[in-house]
Amino acid sequence: MPEQITLYGHGYSPYCISAYIAFDEAGVDYTHHVIDVTNKPAWFIESVNPVGKIPAITYGGPSVPPDQPSPESRKISESRVIADFVADLNPAAHLVPADLLARVDMRLAILDWVHHGLGVWSGVFSGPRPTEDLFVWLEDLQRRLPPTGFVAGTFSLADIVMVPFLKLPVWFWENGLAKGDGKKYLEMLQEPKFARLRKYLEDLDARPSVQRSWDVEALLERWPDILKGN
Ligand SMILES: N[C@@H](CCC(=O)N[C@@H](CS)C(=O)NCC(=O)O)C(=O)O
Protein backbone atom coordinates (compact mmCIF):
# COMPACT_ATOMS: atom_id res chain seq x y z
CA MET A 1 0.00 0.00 0.00
CA PRO A 2 1.39 3.45 -0.87
CA GLU A 3 1.65 6.00 1.94
CA GLN A 4 -1.36 8.25 2.45
CA ILE A 5 -1.10 11.76 1.03
CA THR A 6 -3.41 14.62 1.94
CA LEU A 7 -3.13 17.83 -0.04
CA TYR A 8 -4.40 21.00 1.59
CA GLY A 9 -5.21 23.60 -1.01
CA HIS A 10 -7.71 25.65 -2.93
CA GLY A 11 -8.34 25.71 -6.67
CA TYR A 12 -7.90 29.48 -6.97
CA SER A 13 -4.26 29.36 -5.90
CA PRO A 14 -1.70 29.17 -8.72
CA TYR A 15 0.71 27.42 -6.35
CA CYS A 16 -1.93 24.79 -5.58
CA ILE A 17 -2.77 24.40 -9.27
CA SER A 18 0.90 23.54 -9.88
CA ALA A 19 0.67 20.89 -7.18
CA TYR A 20 -2.56 19.44 -8.65
CA ILE A 21 -0.93 19.21 -12.08
CA ALA A 22 2.17 17.50 -10.64
CA PHE A 23 0.05 14.87 -8.87
CA ASP A 24 -2.10 14.34 -11.94
CA GLU A 25 0.90 13.97 -14.27
CA ALA A 26 2.58 11.55 -11.87
CA GLY A 27 -0.61 9.53 -11.40
CA VAL A 28 -0.23 9.75 -7.63
CA ASP A 29 -3.45 9.55 -5.59
CA TYR A 30 -4.19 11.92 -2.75
CA THR A 31 -7.02 13.24 -0.64
CA HIS A 32 -7.79 16.89 -1.27
CA HIS A 33 -8.87 19.12 1.58
CA VAL A 34 -9.95 22.66 0.78
CA ILE A 35 -8.51 25.43 2.95
CA ASP A 36 -10.22 28.80 2.98
CA VAL A 37 -7.26 31.17 3.21
CA THR A 38 -9.54 34.00 4.34
CA ASN A 39 -10.49 31.94 7.39
CA LYS A 40 -7.71 29.45 8.04
CA PRO A 41 -8.52 26.76 10.58
CA ALA A 42 -6.30 26.83 13.67
CA TRP A 43 -5.49 23.12 13.31
CA PHE A 44 -3.99 23.77 9.85
CA ILE A 45 -1.48 26.26 11.24
CA GLU A 46 -0.82 24.23 14.39
CA SER A 47 -0.48 20.81 12.76
CA VAL A 48 0.19 21.15 9.04
CA ASN A 49 1.91 24.39 8.01
CA PRO A 50 2.92 26.90 10.69
CA VAL A 51 3.37 29.50 7.96
CA GLY A 52 -0.30 29.04 7.07
CA LYS A 53 0.22 28.84 3.33
CA ILE A 54 -1.24 26.46 0.78
CA PRO A 55 -0.40 24.08 -0.79
CA ALA A 56 0.83 21.81 1.98
CA ILE A 57 0.72 18.04 2.21
CA THR A 58 0.89 15.36 4.82
CA TYR A 59 2.69 12.20 3.76
CA GLY A 60 2.54 8.87 5.52
CA GLY A 61 1.34 8.10 9.01
CA PRO A 62 -2.04 6.58 9.79
CA SER A 63 -5.20 7.25 7.81
CA VAL A 64 -6.92 10.08 9.63
CA PRO A 65 -9.59 12.68 8.81
CA PRO A 66 -7.88 15.61 7.01
CA ASP A 67 -8.88 18.06 9.74
CA GLN A 68 -7.18 15.87 12.35
CA PRO A 69 -3.68 15.46 10.91
CA SER A 70 -1.53 12.87 12.63
CA PRO A 71 1.71 13.90 14.35
CA GLU A 72 3.20 10.82 12.66
CA SER A 73 2.86 12.12 9.10
CA ARG A 74 5.55 14.16 7.42
CA LYS A 75 4.42 17.72 6.61
CA ILE A 76 5.65 19.23 3.35
CA SER A 77 5.02 22.78 2.16
CA GLU A 78 6.16 25.01 -0.74
CA SER A 79 4.68 24.24 -4.13
CA ARG A 80 7.99 23.71 -5.91
CA VAL A 81 9.22 21.34 -3.20
CA ILE A 82 5.92 19.46 -3.41
CA ALA A 83 6.20 19.21 -7.21
CA ASP A 84 9.81 17.91 -6.88
CA PHE A 85 8.63 15.40 -4.28
CA VAL A 86 5.82 14.16 -6.52
CA ALA A 87 8.25 13.84 -9.44
CA ASP A 88 10.52 11.75 -7.19
CA LEU A 89 7.58 9.59 -6.08
CA ASN A 90 7.03 8.48 -9.66
CA PRO A 91 10.19 8.86 -11.76
CA ALA A 92 8.46 6.95 -14.56
CA ALA A 93 6.32 10.05 -15.21
CA HIS A 94 9.54 11.80 -16.39
CA LEU A 95 8.63 15.18 -14.95
CA VAL A 96 12.40 15.61 -14.71
CA PRO A 97 13.74 15.02 -18.23
CA ALA A 98 16.14 12.15 -18.79
CA ASP A 99 18.44 14.26 -20.95
CA LEU A 100 21.25 15.98 -19.04
CA LEU A 101 21.01 19.33 -20.83
CA ALA A 102 17.22 19.31 -20.85
CA ARG A 103 17.46 19.12 -17.05
CA VAL A 104 19.71 22.18 -17.14
CA ASP A 105 17.12 24.04 -19.25
CA MET A 106 14.38 23.02 -16.81
CA ARG A 107 16.33 24.24 -13.78
CA LEU A 108 17.41 27.51 -15.41
CA ALA A 109 13.80 28.26 -16.36
CA ILE A 110 12.63 27.57 -12.79
CA LEU A 111 15.36 29.82 -11.38
CA ASP A 112 14.41 32.60 -13.77
CA TRP A 113 10.78 32.21 -12.78
CA VAL A 114 11.57 32.33 -9.06
CA HIS A 115 14.05 35.19 -9.21
CA HIS A 116 12.49 37.25 -11.94
CA GLY A 117 9.14 36.19 -13.41
CA LEU A 118 7.28 35.77 -10.13
CA GLY A 119 8.29 39.25 -8.95
CA VAL A 120 7.10 40.80 -12.20
CA TRP A 121 3.83 38.81 -12.06
CA SER A 122 3.12 39.84 -8.46
CA GLY A 123 4.12 43.44 -9.13
CA VAL A 124 1.63 43.60 -12.01
CA PHE A 125 -1.32 41.81 -10.40
CA SER A 126 -0.92 42.85 -6.78
CA GLY A 127 1.27 45.89 -7.08
CA PRO A 128 1.90 49.04 -9.06
CA ARG A 129 3.93 47.57 -11.94
CA PRO A 130 2.60 48.26 -15.44
CA THR A 131 1.22 45.24 -17.28
CA GLU A 132 3.73 45.94 -20.07
CA ASP A 133 6.46 44.62 -17.71
CA LEU A 134 4.83 41.20 -17.90
CA PHE A 135 5.16 41.27 -21.68
CA VAL A 136 8.88 42.01 -21.37
CA TRP A 137 9.23 38.91 -19.18
CA LEU A 138 7.10 36.89 -21.62
CA GLU A 139 9.57 37.81 -24.36
CA ASP A 140 12.38 36.48 -22.13
CA LEU A 141 10.41 33.29 -21.59
CA GLN A 142 9.77 32.94 -25.31
CA ARG A 143 13.52 33.20 -26.00
CA ARG A 144 14.06 30.21 -23.70
CA LEU A 145 11.65 27.99 -25.58
CA PRO A 146 13.03 25.38 -27.96
CA PRO A 147 11.58 25.49 -31.52
CA THR A 148 8.85 23.00 -30.53
CA GLY A 149 7.54 21.44 -27.35
CA PHE A 150 7.91 22.58 -23.78
CA VAL A 151 10.56 24.54 -21.87
CA ALA A 152 12.88 21.54 -21.57
CA GLY A 153 11.60 19.78 -24.69
CA THR A 154 9.30 17.35 -22.94
CA PHE A 155 6.74 18.48 -20.35
CA SER A 156 8.58 19.00 -17.06
CA LEU A 157 8.55 20.63 -13.64
CA ALA A 158 9.41 23.98 -15.27
CA ASP A 159 6.10 23.95 -17.14
CA ILE A 160 4.26 22.79 -14.04
CA VAL A 161 5.64 25.66 -11.96
CA MET A 162 4.78 28.35 -14.52
CA VAL A 163 1.60 27.22 -16.24
CA PRO A 164 -0.95 28.57 -13.71
CA PHE A 165 0.79 31.95 -13.78
CA LEU A 166 0.71 31.94 -17.58
CA LYS A 167 -2.95 30.98 -17.84
CA LEU A 168 -4.23 33.35 -15.14
CA PRO A 169 -3.41 36.67 -16.90
CA VAL A 170 -5.23 35.52 -20.05
CA TRP A 171 -8.21 34.50 -17.93
CA PHE A 172 -8.11 37.84 -16.03
CA TRP A 173 -8.06 39.80 -19.29
CA GLU A 174 -10.78 37.70 -20.91
CA ASN A 175 -12.99 38.30 -17.90
CA GLY A 176 -12.14 41.97 -17.35
CA LEU A 177 -10.75 41.24 -13.89
CA ALA A 178 -7.30 42.82 -13.98
CA LYS A 179 -6.38 46.49 -14.17
CA GLY A 180 -6.02 48.10 -17.57
CA ASP A 181 -7.53 47.24 -20.92
CA GLY A 182 -7.74 43.45 -21.05
CA LYS A 183 -8.69 43.53 -24.74
CA LYS A 184 -5.50 45.43 -25.53
CA TYR A 185 -3.34 42.90 -23.66
CA LEU A 186 -5.04 39.98 -25.42
CA GLU A 187 -4.31 41.72 -28.73
CA MET A 188 -0.66 42.23 -27.72
CA LEU A 189 -0.41 38.47 -27.20
CA GLN A 190 -1.68 37.99 -30.76
CA GLU A 191 1.19 40.01 -32.23
CA PRO A 192 3.32 38.01 -34.71
CA LYS A 193 6.36 38.32 -32.42
CA PHE A 194 4.58 36.10 -29.86
CA ALA A 195 3.85 33.23 -32.26
CA ARG A 196 6.16 30.79 -30.45
CA LEU A 197 4.79 31.76 -27.03
CA ARG A 198 1.22 31.28 -28.28
CA LYS A 199 2.05 27.78 -29.50
CA TYR A 200 3.57 27.01 -26.10
CA LEU A 201 0.42 28.28 -24.34
CA GLU A 202 -1.73 26.15 -26.66
CA ASP A 203 0.40 23.08 -25.92
CA LEU A 204 0.01 23.75 -22.19
CA ASP A 205 -3.76 24.20 -22.56
CA ALA A 206 -4.03 20.91 -24.42
CA ARG A 207 -2.51 19.00 -21.52
CA PRO A 208 -5.30 17.00 -19.77
CA SER A 209 -3.67 17.52 -16.35
CA VAL A 210 -3.79 21.28 -16.90
CA GLN A 211 -7.43 21.16 -17.99
CA ARG A 212 -8.42 19.04 -14.99
CA SER A 213 -6.66 21.39 -12.57
CA TRP A 214 -8.37 24.54 -13.85
CA ASP A 215 -11.43 25.10 -11.67
CA VAL A 216 -13.26 28.25 -12.81
CA GLU A 217 -15.65 28.15 -9.87
CA ALA A 218 -12.74 28.16 -7.42
CA LEU A 219 -10.97 30.91 -9.36
CA LEU A 220 -14.09 33.08 -9.25
CA GLU A 221 -14.34 32.58 -5.50
CA ARG A 222 -11.19 34.59 -4.84
CA TRP A 223 -9.68 36.43 -7.80
CA PRO A 224 -12.32 39.15 -8.31
CA ASP A 225 -11.76 40.20 -4.67
CA ILE A 226 -7.97 39.90 -4.84
CA LEU A 227 -7.78 42.01 -8.00
CA LYS A 228 -10.33 44.59 -6.88
CA GLY A 229 -8.79 47.99 -6.41
CA ASN A 230 -5.58 47.08 -8.19
N1 LIG B 1 6.04 30.00 -1.71
C2 LIG B 1 4.76 29.39 -1.48
C3 LIG B 1 3.67 30.41 -1.69
C4 LIG B 1 2.31 29.85 -1.38
C5 LIG B 1 1.28 30.95 -1.23
O6 LIG B 1 1.60 32.15 -1.14
N7 LIG B 1 0.01 30.54 -1.12
C8 LIG B 1 -1.05 31.50 -0.91
C9 LIG B 1 -2.25 31.14 -1.77
S10 LIG B 1 -1.94 31.51 -3.46
C11 LIG B 1 -1.49 31.42 0.54
O12 LIG B 1 -1.48 30.39 1.13
N13 LIG B 1 -1.89 32.55 1.09
C14 LIG B 1 -2.43 32.59 2.41
C15 LIG B 1 -1.60 33.38 3.36
O16 LIG B 1 -0.50 33.83 2.98
O17 LIG B 1 -2.04 33.55 4.48
C18 LIG B 1 4.60 28.17 -2.41
O19 LIG B 1 5.25 28.14 -3.47
O20 LIG B 1 3.85 27.25 -2.05
Q: Does the pTM exceed 0.85?
A: yes
Cα–ligand 1 centroid distance for 37 (angstroms):
9
Fold of 5-93: Glutaredoxin (3.40.30)
The DSSP annotation for 107-148 comes to HHHHHHIIIIIHHHHHHHHSSS--THHHHHHHHHHHHHS-SS
Q: How far apart are CA 57 and CA 53, in angstroms?
A: 11
Beta strand pairing call for 56-59 and 5-9: antiparallel
Q: Where are the domains of the chain?
A: 5-93, 100-227
Cβ of 5 closer than 6 Å to ligand 1, yes or no, is no
pLDDT in tens, 165-216: 999 999 999 999 999 999 999 999 999 999 999 999 999 999 999 999 999 9
pLDDT digits (tens, 9 = 90+) for 113-152: 999 999 999 999 999 999 999 999 999 999 999 999 999 9
Show Cβ contacts of residue 114 under 8 Å, excluding neighbours closer than 6 positions: 80
Q: Which CATH class is domain 100-227?
A: mainly alpha
Whether residue 83 has its Cβ less than 6 Å from ligand 1: no
- Atom 15, ligand 1: which residue's CA is nearest? 53
Measured from the CB, is residue 150 less than 6 Å from ligand 1? no
> What atom in ligand 1 is closest to the CA of residue 40?
17
> What digits encode the pLDDT tens for the residues 202-214?
999 999 999 999 9
Establish whether residue 19 lines the binding site of ligand 1, counting it when its CB lies within 6 angstroms of any ligand atom.
Answer: no
